[in-house]
Amino acid sequence: MVLWCYMGEDAALRLGVVASRRIGPAVMRNRAKRRLREAFRLNRHGFQGLMDVVLVARPAVVKASWDDLVDELNRLADQAGLSAVSGPVRPSAESASRRH
């Protein structure tokens, strides 16, 4: 998949999904778009920023496992600067014992 971001005054964390005829017949294109929309919906809480996002489906989206699809979305979102800053880092037990 390809992830495009648009940053502008009217941008919000909105999603657009595109699947061309290269994906296959309409049934496969619709399946690819549904999978991308659902992956974005389930991971939206981890994204931040005022950007409009466009996901472009590639043929592999239809056959990829769900975990691979979500991992790819999160990787692309991280590269685009959409990933929210993770919560506070907790020190490991080893580093905590060194301080005392």
Residue 98 confidence (pLDDT): 44
Residue type, 95: S
User: Which pLDDT belongs to residue 13?
Assistant: 85
What is the per-residue pLDDT for 7? 85
5-42 residue pLDDT tens? 888 788 788 899 999 999 999 999 999 999 999 999 99
Q: Give residue 26's pLDDT.
A: 96
Instruction: Choose among 5, 4, 29, 31: nearest CA to 19.
Output: 29
Give residue 34's pLDDT.
94
Domains (ranges, CATH) in the chain? 2-84 (3.30.230.10)
The C-alpha atoms of residue 55 and residue 83 are separated, in whole angstroms, by 15
Cβ atoms of residues 56 and 12 within 8 Å: no
**Alpha carbon distances (Å) from 36 to 9, 10, 23, 78, 99:** 25, 23, 13, 16, 46
* Span 39-88, pLDDT tens digits: 999 988 888 888 889 999 999 999 999 999 999 999 999 998 887 654 33
Q: Which residues contact 64 (CB under 8 A, 6 or more apart)?
A: 72
**Virtual torsion, Cα 65, 70, 74, 75, nearest 10 deg:** 0
